[in-house]
Amino acid sequence: MFSSHDIHNSTRVSGTGPSSAALARRKVVFFLLLTLLFSTIGWYLVTRATGIEDAPGAILFTMWCPGIAAIITRLWFQRNLKGFGFCIGEPRWQLFAIFLPIGAGLLMFGSSWLAGIASFNEATAATIFSAAFIPLFAFSILLNLFTAAGEEIGWRGLLVPEMSQFMGFTELALLSGAIWAAWHFPVIFFSTYSGAGPLWYSLLMFVPSVMGAGLILAWLRLRSGSVITAILFHGIWNYFIQDFYPALTIQTPESEMMLGEFGWISAAIYILLAIIFWHFRARLPDNRIAETP
């Protein structure tokens, strides 16, 4: 969404007291204020451009505003960068974070091809599935992972684990997802970051998609103890939904309302996945994420 690790896994703490919960609240407030301050600059730069595609530097800066704010917050309160979850953890969660968005995207676009709502672009496919495309594919994946890291270091690297210190999963997932969705509003309202159809339709589809994704990413972060899972999921989703699958698709007016980040099928898939992940919330750690790498 808007594309050397530490060797120790995140660990749990045996309990939390009022002082640790109060400290976590202060970190969250400090982080959100810094994110708002930095993002205001980014939003201004993005909205001054004639289109999203004309402001790559401003977009990159804006996507890294949460990450920059999170790094400053850790250094201010802890004098170190512990707590982000820069670890591999169990490889199954990294693989899950890679293949779930690829599969969800294939379901999204593949269903439109099979139903005849959109057509499969055979000419583009011949290029994409050739050996000559591999360098561009690798570069695009790395670029999307880098930009996604800027957001995820903030939202799931700091905000989610700190919120888990003083609220339950359902509350933190919905609240952090709502914050993440609202963070996109300035570029939706005042730039060209929207889908087909009227603006109200883009918002109606985008908000549940982002909040559903926020719940999934929060679950993966807390379950795996690694922010890398969130970075992988976010970056892979951005590339395949914004670039890869659209390049394989010949759009129609109907498919433009259906596909992509602002399409109805994205909202439907994310709501369904969010319900499934929420159902398994009992499998999350019982106690809080410690402030270790």
Q: What is the mean pLDDT of the chain?
A: 89
What pLDDT score was predicted for residue 248?
Answer: 96
**What does the pLDDT look like over 68-111, one tens digit per residue?**
999 999 999 999 999 999 998 889 999 999 999 999 999 999 99
Give the C-alpha separation, 232 to 62, whole Å: 19
Domain locations in the chain as residue ranges: 18-283
Give the C-alpha separation, 261 to 241, whole Å: 7
User: Nearest-CA neighbor of 230 among 125, 116, 84, 37?
Assistant: 84
Q: Residue 196 pLDDT more than 90?
A: no
**Amino acid making up residue 143:** L
What pLDDT score was predicted for residue 89?
Answer: 83
What pLDDT score was predicted for residue 88?
Answer: 86
Give the C-alpha separation, 118 to 111, whole Å: 9
Distances in whole angstroms, Cα of residue 213 to Cα of each of 97, 228, 268, 283:
12, 15, 11, 18
**What does the pLDDT look like over 11-70, one tens digit per residue?**
333 344 557 889 999 999 999 999 999 999 999 999 887 666 667 888 999 999 999 999
What pLDDT score was predicted for residue 198?
Answer: 92
Q: Residue 170 pLDDT more than 60?
A: yes
Give me the mean pLDDT over the 214-226 stretch.
Answer: 96
Q: Rounded to 5 degrees, what are φ and ψ at 79?
A: 65, 20
DSSP codes joined into one string, 98-167: HHHHHHHHHHHHHHHHHHTSSEE-HHHHHHHTSGGGHHHHHHHHHHHHHHHHHHHHHIIIIIHHHHTTTS
Token representation of residue 162: 């700190």
Token representation of residue 182: 């609202």
Give me the mean pLDDT over the 135-151 stretch.
Answer: 97
